[in-house]
Structure 1
Amino acid sequence: MSTLRDAAMNSKAWPFEEARRVLKRYEKKAPEKGYVLFETGYGPSGLPHIGTFGEVARTTMIKKAFEVISDIPTKLICFSDDLDGMRKVPTNVPNQDMLREHEQKPLTSVPDPFEEFDSFGDHNNAMLRRFLDTFGFEYEFYSATDFYKSGRFDAVLRRAAEKYDEIMAVMLKSLREERQQSYSCFLPIHPETGRVLYVPMKEVNAKEGTITFDDEDGREWTLPVTGGNVKLQWKPDFGARWAALDVDFEMYGKDHSTNTPIYDRICEILGGKKPEHFTYELFLDANGEKISKSKGNGLSIDEWLTYASSESLGYFMFLKPKTAKRLWWDVIPKMMDEYHQQLRAYPTQSLEQQLNNPVWHIHGGNPPESKMVVPFSMLLNLASVAGASDKDGLWGFIKRYAPEATPETHPDLDQAAAFAVRYYHDFVAPERQFRLPSDSERAALLDLVAAMKSPEAALAQIARKNAEAGSDEALPEADFHSDDFLQTVVFAIGKNHGFENLRDWFKALYEVLLGQSQGPRFGGFIALYGVEETVGLIERALNGELVQG
């Protein structure tokens, strides 16, 4: 039997593949700094979005995988580029006019439009940290403002002045001709206006560690590159940060991928060793467009957590990171159900299978037991037909279906019930469209009612289906509390009424009874909602009451 480390060294799960690449950096000797450094970067120009969280979640998965295959200590930092100038005002925040007065100032010098923190940068940093803390991420938060002003970047900034021509040679190759004329890797912060200036340098004095430039009014200034007087343009800043901190791993979105050679080369020019990289595909909104902090399209972190568990979001992040994924409301129920399916499968799997299971990576190798005895999609349908206004309205049905379940013993189910009611009222109810059944569907529904009222009628439907199929299979025990028996009855009636493709029969059930084209395993739905209640629902549908609203 293989050990955990042996299995991890051969696992095909992408976090282990990435962790093995990082380990190769130190095959000959351990890092001089005493640990392997994983970094995530964040530009706080707008409110944090799920993509930002995804970088930390995925990097944490790789970090945890690394800790299985190596005894070298690890550290994860979240670095905020909050000294960056606010180039435009985000459209999804208040006090737009006030913010416009502070354009081009560092984000930590822009007043907080929400009037809660010392600056807009501090506000956005706090939002990110608050969310990361709720997930229990082990990380250290680094602020560019603190690093530049405290002197922690001074050494690499002086080196950048010494290597200015080499850095500029790298950068100028990547720029259009008109941009080359005014470009400098140094961005001075104006001593009077506080604005971040995009101006060419008149002189870079490596010996003195100073830059000389003319401001927008033509006045000449000379500033030291140290002490927070100057910041680096974002591309050189990437490489400088890697060199200054000795970063071993960083992931970023596909939109950065063409810049990777630039980041790497500048890191090397400044005396560093380029880190391992991982490029992930972008998240898309409902229209297939890239989600953006400034636009506020796509889902926010808080919005996801209003309707689903944090673990379901972690599951979404684990899946196929190199494939572009649509990040919209309708993915939430699927992620909730698939996460718990994987959680239920975990205890029965081999060690190799467990290491490939997303829940191992979501929970750092220690996944909990799933208590979701009712799938989330089923809870949504139950909320629909029960007209529940809160989770308590679902628990009466749940306890009849699973008598051993209580909110205290099944907290994940209790949480999911609340999510389901909220999700149903906000997204399902407004879109429901009931229809009347066709004549053939009406006949089948009447037989379904008769079968649910009488065990004899139910068994007769199964016997008829078996006879037409030439099967001599013994009839099951009639048990209206059993998902499987009820599903067999529904299936038999569909067959007996000539539905060649049973999808059409189930689609009819969903459209007539639930007002939607997709739905749950119907036998399980009947068992959860109740046989008598389902009979009443069908009779209301046959009478046209559901269409009338």
Structure 2
Amino acid sequence: MKNKDFPPLEISSEMIEAAHLSRAWPFQEARKLVKRYQYDRYPDEVIFETGYGPSGLPHIGTFCEVTRTSMIVNAFRLLTEDKVAVRLICFSDDMDGMRKVPDNIPNKHVIEKHLGKPLTQVPDPFGMGYKSFAHHNNAQLRSFLDHFGFSYEFASATEYYTSGRFDHILKVAAQKYQEIMDVILPTLGAERQETYSPFLPISPKSGQILYVPMKKVDAESGTITFDDEDGEEVTLPITGGHVKMQWKPDFGMRWAALGIDFEMYGKDHEINGKVYDKICCILGGNAPEHFVFELFLDEKGEKISKSKGNGLSIEEWLTYALPESLSLFMYQKPRTAKRLYFDVIPRQVDDYFQHLSVVHGVETIAKLENPTWHIHAGNPPIISMPISFSMLLNLVSASNASEKKTLWRFISKYDASATPQNNPKLDEMVGYAIRYFEDFVKPHQQFRRPTARERVALEDLAERLSIMPPHSKSQDLQTEVYSVGKDHGFQRLREWFEALYQILLGQNQGPRFGSFVAILGPEKTVKMIKEALRI
């Protein structure tokens, strides 16, 4: 992969100066790499890496790592004027052992008898013709990375081990065996220390990955000796894919072998981060720079897990919202644990377009601190979005729309210049809004009856709206709604608006009501009020 494979960047002296001053976290992380080589020449390539464990389907945490790392890559490219070669490797740990059957896969019986084998030796339970469970999951990973347009290089642990690409570093590990043990053993309990080895042989009889102590490690011949499952003593070469490394030393081994300069990981790895670094250095490498991010939580506040399939999947998010809104969620507050569930989607969509609306025409430093600069690799598009996603959801509710054309009739009355043809993003939003409303808003709507005072106020509002011009401005409509609330004794106007939302929309919160009426139209709003009063 060469720099030309990454999206082109706008580079100028002003942009470079702003990049060195920007407080945006991708620039802060990228400056670590600039500082790393401030007294030395840059290597032929600066290599970024993300890791993926295909023991389950790719989940949103995997997308998170690739998205955030890509943002840092582009920040680094601007800081170095794109004169330093960069690579982004997405590494799949597909030689790891299959430890348990995931909850969210079909045909569990297909893989139950293969537990303990490398993931690339476990059959594909999806029946889609892939060579293994790992091959299926790797394909899914690459598919969604390609869908988002990431520039990356895919790497398979199985291929690297079996092809001999790790052979040299494994021989070094044999030579440094005791040094590695001295780093790892203090992190283990007494019982585990008795059986631990950084090398995991693959049984030539059963194909299982064996967690057994070493009887002998021969650095000169590059072999290990151990007892197989049946008790027979076996000697295997550590090269050629006969042996893999335990997960803790595997991190450091890989960084040393590939010359990794940067890898981020979740907070669950933070406690072992120094262990990975020490092993990398023992094996002759230079420990990479890191960024530790907080983990995502599901709707119950529990950590998202590939095997459980809890939380929100990439496919689910993309069913209800633009890909860019997911990228925004990844950009925001990476060091804060965030609840990742369906109810966060509307806010992310609207925030994305809000950021996009102000990124152009601002000072350079502000542009580089705008999330959309990072989401779009320095080239945020110009898109007009006259209606928010939240407003579209309320419009679906009020119009009972199940098809795009129904919503477009209201949108066209509100903004005659907007059409599905000249604003395809808005058309996409309309489709997302209909799906999201049907699945997540409608099932939870709870309409209530108006109180006596609220009924009188609603009747007055309907009468006032009925005599207002069809194309009244949203501010004029909002003023009228305010006036009705004040005239009917709502000391706190918030109570009046809550009543409107609960009685007319079946929810506790809602849009700016004047804007809502402007889009729906006074006549249709009056009809909606009268229907609510008949309940």
TM over 0.5, yes or no?
yes
Paired residues of 2:16 and 2:78 also in contact (CA < 8 A)? yes
Give 3-state SS (helix, strand or coil) of 1:213's partner: strand
Give 3-state SS (helix, strand or coil) of 2:291's partner: strand
Residue 388 in 1 paired to residue 401 in 2? yes
CA drift of 1:392 comes to 2.0
Decide which moves more: 208-217 or 1-10.
1-10
State the partner residue of 1:284.
297
State the partner residue of 2:498.
507
CA drift of 1:409 comes to 1.0
Paired residues of 1:30 and 1:72 also in contact (CA < 8 A)? no
Q: Which letter maps to 2:18?
A: A
State the partner residue of 2:424.
411
State the partner residue of 2:123.
111
CA drift of 1:518 comes to 1.1
State the partner residue of 1:518.
509
Deviations 1:386-406 (A, max 9, x none): 111122221111111111111
State the partner residue of 1:237.
250
State the partner residue of 1:164.
177
Give 3-state SS (helix, strand or coil) of 1:519's partner: coil
Paired residues of 2:111 and 2:122 also in contact (CA < 8 A)? yes
| Percent of matched pairs sharing the same residue | 59
Deviations 1:101-143 (A, max 9, x none): 1001111110100011111001111111100001110000000
CA drift of 1:316 comes to 0.3
CA drift of 1:149 comes to 0.4
Give me the whole-angstrom Cα distance separating, in 2, the residues matched to 1:413 and 1:295: 35
Q: Which letter maps to 1:421?
A: I
State the partner residue of 1:59.
69
Give me the whole-angstrom Cα distance separating, in 1, the residues matched to 2:409 and 2:41: 59
Pairs aligned (count)? 521
The match for 2:527 among 523, 536, 540 is 536
Paired residues of 2:470 and 2:523 also in contact (CA < 8 A)? no
Deviations 1:154-186 (A, max 9, x none): 011000000000001100010000010111100
Give me the whole-angstrom Cα distance separating, in 2, the residues matched to 1:490 and 1:73: 60
State the partner residue of 2:382.
369
Q: Which letter maps to 2:85?
A: P
CA drift of 1:480 comes to 4.2
Paired residues of 1:299 and 1:327 also in contact (CA < 8 A)? yes
Deviations 1:277-305 (A, max 9, x none): 00000000000000000000000110000
The match for 1:487 among 478, 482, 494 is 478
Paired residues of 2:200 and 2:246 also in contact (CA < 8 A)? yes
CA drift of 1:2 comes to 6.9
Give 3-state SS (helix, strand or coil) of 1:37's partner: strand
Residue 13 in 1 paired to residue 24 in 2? yes
CA drift of 1:216 comes to 1.8
Q: How does 1:207-286 map to 2 (within 5 A)?
A: 207-286=220-299
Give me the whole-angstrom Cα distance separating, in 2, the residues matched to 1:65 and 1:249: 13
Give me the whole-angstrom Cα distance separating, in 2, the residues matched to 1:2 and 1:27: 19
Deviations 1:391-444 (A, max 9, x none): 222111111111111112111100010000001111111111100111121122
State the partner residue of 1:188.
201
Give me the whole-angstrom Cα distance separating, in 2, the residues matched to 1:231 and 1:392: 57
CA drift of 1:348 comes to 3.6
Give me the whole-angstrom Cα distance separating, in 2, the residues matched to 1:351 and 1:232: 47
Residue 497 in 1 paired to residue 488 in 2? yes
Give me the whole-angstrom Cα distance separating, in 1, the residues matched to 2:312 and 2:125: 21
Residue 77 in 1 paired to residue 89 in 2? yes
Deviations 1:238-274 (A, max 9, x none): 0001000110000010000000110000000000000
Give me the whole-angstrom Cα distance separating, in 1, the residues matched to 2:489 and 2:78: 56
Change (3 A) 1:486 1:2: farther
Paired residues of 2:55 and 2:98 also in contact (CA < 8 A)? yes
Give me the whole-angstrom Cα distance separating, in 1, the residues matched to 2:137 and 2:473: 51
Kindly report the root-mean-square deviation, in angstroms, between the aligned alpha carbons of the 2 structures.
1.2
CA drift of 1:385 comes to 1.6
Give me the whole-angstrom Cα distance separating, in 2, the residues matched to 1:329 and 1:199: 44
State the partner residue of 1:447.
460
Give me the whole-angstrom Cα distance separating, in 2, the residues matched to 1:156 and 1:143: 17
CA drift of 1:30 comes to 2.9
The match for 1:302 among 306, 312, 315 is 315
Decide which moves more: 446-455 or 415-424.
446-455
Paired residues of 2:470 and 2:521 also in contact (CA < 8 A)? no
Deviations 1:470-501 (A, max 9, x none): xxxxxxxx784311111121122222222222
Paired residues of 1:480 and 1:486 also in contact (CA < 8 A)? no
Decide which moves more: 289-298 or 348-357.
348-357
CA drift of 1:370 comes to 2.3
Tell me, which stretches of 5 or more residues in structure 1 are unaligned? 456-477, 545-549
Give me the whole-angstrom Cα distance separating, in 2, the residues matched to 1:31 and 1:87: 41
TM-score by length of 2: 0.96
Paired residues of 1:479 and 1:485 also in contact (CA < 8 A)? no
Give 3-state SS (helix, strand or coil) of 1:181's partner: helix
Tell me, which stretches of 5 or more residues in structure 2 are unaligned? 1-11
Give 3-state SS (helix, strand or coil) of 1:3's partner: helix
